[in-house]
């Protein structure tokens, strides 16, 4: 963090530029889920509800738009990519991202597979069993796939072995998240769900760096390494600085309600200034109220009602408008 009046001004400028790139400030928004992702590239999605709220904060008005993009249009894809975490990405980018991250994430999980008694031969048999099951009987929920793993390969119904085998089959590009079934996430064959691969970049890491720079700039190679989870040497080799467009003149602060685990706090090694009120530790990232990209409060939904707790300055009219927008999104 820079010091002095000039340094503070520079910090504010960087924060505003990053908020604009992430569609959470400077009036920047996109109307459809895939349009949001074309700009921000990925929305963290280990919690499906938080992912939908992350799209809402960036311009999507209705929950139904998210469901339509994931299941009807299939323009948005959910999978394990950066840092081994579930993300929503544009479906046209899913296959090359799987090619880049699938083998790396499988390798990163090797020790855990061994701890669970899952050797390579067993994993390969499980992958083929799961693929056959979803091709012939899919979509199938996690519980239904676990039942088949138990019946066919003796995998324990309880514990972590089954979900690790299911996620590994996803990382291998055989199966993927599909529609909801009875209110639960179900899995399908990747080849059936996304029959067309889309363009494959000649240098996937360079393309990832370019997309990151657009979504998170100003940033540098170290920030890219933190966000991507790739080795620093690989990140540095692929990095090319992106010059942001000039900011407009000052305007009323742009207030947004970001969900827990929002990517706004995960794209840079300085965590965009998030302190213990937003990142209390243990991997937790709280739902935050931001003004021009800076945290000014937290929010929650006790009993389904949107409650806001401010610790910084934000215009009351803008805060109330966002509060009402979240309520409409959650309770159409």
- pLDDT for residue 1 is more than 80: no
Integer Cα distance of 48 and 179 in angstroms = 12
Ramachandran angles phi, psi of 211, nearest 5°: -70, -40
Which residue stretches of 22-93 are H helix? 33-40, 48-57, 63-67
- Using alpha carbons only, give the angle 91, 209, 107 rounded to the nearest 5 degrees: 75
Spatial distance between the Cα atoms of 35 and 76, rounded to a whole number of angstroms: 10
Instruction: Identify which has the larger pLDDT, 225 or 2.
Output: 225
CB 224 within 8 A of CB 209: yes
Q: Are 186 and 180 in contact (CB under 8 A)?
A: yes
The confidence band for 93, taking pLDDT boundaries of 50, 70 and 90, is very high
Q: What number is the average pLDDT over the span 106-112?
A: 98
pLDDT band at 3 (very low <50, low <70, confident <90, very high): very low
* Whole-number pLDDT of residue 253: 87
The pLDDT score that the predictor gives to residue 7 is 58
pLDDT at 56: 98
Query: How many angstroms separate the Cα of 270 from the Cα of each of 1, 14, 92, 265?
Result: 9, 12, 31, 9
Instruction: Report the pLDDT value the prediction gives residue 315, as an integer from 0 to 100.
Output: 83
Spell out the domains of the chain, with CATH numbers in brackets.
109-193 (1.10.10.10)
**pLDDT band at 272; cut points 50, 70, 90:** confident
pLDDT of 137 higher than 60: yes
Average pLDDT over residues 9-26: 92
Q: What is the largest CA-CA distance in the chain?
A: 67
Q: Are 23 and 40 in contact (CB under 8 A)?
A: yes
Q: How high is the pLDDT of residue 175?
A: 99
The stretch 25-49 carries a mean pLDDT of: 96
How sure is the predictor about 72, in pLDDT bands with cuts at 50, 70 and 90?
A: very high
Q: How far is CA 328 from CA 51, 127, 201, 304, 306, in A?
A: 16, 41, 39, 12, 11
pLDDT digits (tens, 9 = 90+) for 166-191: 999 999 999 999 999 999 999 999 99
Q: Given this model, what pLDDT does residue 2 score? A: 46
pLDDT digits (tens, 9 = 90+) for 256-268: 999 999 999 999 9
- Over 50: is that where the pLDDT of 106 sits? yes
What pLDDT does 271 receive? 84
Task: Give me the percent of the chain exceeding a pLDDT of 90.
Answer: 86
* pLDDT for 198: 75
For 127, the enclosing helix (H) or strand (E) is helix 120-137
pTM above 0.75, yes or no: yes
């Amino acid at each position: 963090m820079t010091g002095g009046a000039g340094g503070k001004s520079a910090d504010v400028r960087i924060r505003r530029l990053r908020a604009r790139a992430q569609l959470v400030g400077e009036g920047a928004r996109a109307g459809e889920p895939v349009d949001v992702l074309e700009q921000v590239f990925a929305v963290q999605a280990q919690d499906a509800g938080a992912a939908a709220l992350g799209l809402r904060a960036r311009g999507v008005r209705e929950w139904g738009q998210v469901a339509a993009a994931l299941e009807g249009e299939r323009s948005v894809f959910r999978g394990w990519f950066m840092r081994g975490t579930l993300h929503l990405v544009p479906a046209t980018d899913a296959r090359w991202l799987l090619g880049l991250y699938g083998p790396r994430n499988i390798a990163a999980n090797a020790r855990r597979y061994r701890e669970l008694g899952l050797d390579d031969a067993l994993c390969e048999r499980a992958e083929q069993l799961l693929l056959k099951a979803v091709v012939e009987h899919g979509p199938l929920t996690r519980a239904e796939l676990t039942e088949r793993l138990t019946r066919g390969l003796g995998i324990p119904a309880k514990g972590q072995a089954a979900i690790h085998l299911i996620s590994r089959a996803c990382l291998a590009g055989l199966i993927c998240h599909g529609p909801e079934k009875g209110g639960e996430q179900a899995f399908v064959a990747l080849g059936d769900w996304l029959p067309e691969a889309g363009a494959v970049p000649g240098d996937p890491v360079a393309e990832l760096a370019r997309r990151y720079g657009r979504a998170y700039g100003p940033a540098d190679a170290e920030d890219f390494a933190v966000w991507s989870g790739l080795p620093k040497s690989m990140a540095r080799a692929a990095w090319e600085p992106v010059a942001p467009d000039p900011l407009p003149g000052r305007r009323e602060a742009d207030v947004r309600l970001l969900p827990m685990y929002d990517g706004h706090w995960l794209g840079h090694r300085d965590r965009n200034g998030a302190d213990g009120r937003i990142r209390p530790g243990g991997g937790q990232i709280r739902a935050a109220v931001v003004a021009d990209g800076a945290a000014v409060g937290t929010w929650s939904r006790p009993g389904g009602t949107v409650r806001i707790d401010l610790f910084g300055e934000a215009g009351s009219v803008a805060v109330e408008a966002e509060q009402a927008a979240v309520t409409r999104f959650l309770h159409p």
